[in-house]
Amino acid sequence: MSGVRHFACTQCGKCCNRAPEVELSEAASLADVFVFRLLFRVYSLPRAPERGADAEVFYQKKRLLAAHAARKSPVKLMRQSKPVDSTSYLLISALALDTLPGACAALDEGRCSIHDRRPLGCRSVPFHYSRPHGLALADFDAFVATPGYACDTSEAGAPFLQGGRIVDAPTLQARGDALQLATIDRPWKEAIVRAMKRGSDSSLPSLADIEANAGFAAMTASMRTAWEIAADTGLLGREKARGLIQQQLATIEREVQRGERSAADWQTLQEMCRDYRQALRQAVVSSLPKLRR
Ligand code: SF4
Ligand code: SF4
């Protein structure tokens, strides 16, 4: 097949089968919709492309990781039993909890209820903004071939890829917006990393724990910590941070009312409720005028 691909979303809702992962600033604007957890992931790449690898894709990947990472550090990766000089990238984002099995919490009767303000990851379907351009064709073909997905790939749809390059304007816009957001969120992510290094907040995992778990699973922490760090460092006003905590509490309470869920999910939501209520009480106490003796 040639490198030309057409695409139109028929809004079948089938790819909205789980809650999205979003950038930190996006979480702040969607706190009334989703229950968020702070998410830590690590990606490691050799310093130079390995023999036989596509060098263009490698450097695109490296540029994207560098743009989105909160921190990068040198590591040795084992390749065919030999240590290879590599870089480890720590990514920090916000993960919306799957509050209903197999469906995004924003899905309403099969349609996205927040279409006009859906997250960047949803705006860049069928090719995620964090993926290198060089993988667009393979990713596109795999996505639209997913059983059950009703994407229209006939010529009635707008051209999405030509010669293997993305030509779809909304997707290019979403990719540009994501890079801009990465720059805006960088000081916030760096402040979180500084708090992790200090070990001053027991709800944050240590960098060593994240590295140790990298091969098995991503780690999460309370999003409350992220709002408070943003307020402490002046990235969010205190009132704004307090408002976000209130919004998250209301969203959790709404989700708790919504239906059946596993015991583990129930426990997570209950713990988050307690955590947010305590944060609000502390904020009220710390804002009271000090009593004179
Ligand atoms: S936010 Fe909207 S587009 Fe994104 S996964 Fe949820 S329902 Fe789908
Ligand atoms: S599976 Fe395809 S057609 Fe269905 S909602 Fe997702 S992008 Fe749209």
Q: Evaluate whether residue 22 is within a structural domain.
A: yes
Q: Evaluate whether residue 292 is within a structural domain.
A: no
For residue 293, give both structure tokens. Answer: 């003796």
pLDDT of residue 291: 35
CA distance 29 to 47: 36
H-run or E-run covering 38: strand 36-46
Is the Cβ–Cβ distance between 127 and 143 less than 8 Å?
A: yes
Range ranked top by mean pLDDT from 75-89, 183-197, 243-257: 183-197
Q: Evaluate whether residue 21 is within a structural domain.
A: yes
pLDDT tens digit sequence for 101-141: 788 989 988 899 999 999 999 999 999 999 999 999 999 99
Per the structure, the complete domain to which residue 56 belongs is given by 5-287
Predicted TM-score of the model (pTM): 0.90
196: closest CA among 209, 186, 187, 205? 205
Q: Evaluate whether residue 293 is within a structural domain.
A: no
For a pocket test of ligand 1, which of 18, 26, 122, 251 has the largest count of ligand atoms closer than 8 A to its C-beta? 122
Q: What's the total number of domains in the chain?
A: 1
Q: Evaluate whether residue 137 is within a structural domain.
A: yes
Q: What is the mean pLDDT of the chain?
A: 89
pLDDT tens digit sequence for 191-200: 999 999 998 7
For a pocket test of ligand 2, which of 15, 112, 113, 160 has the largest count of ligand atoms closer than 8 A to its C-beta? 15
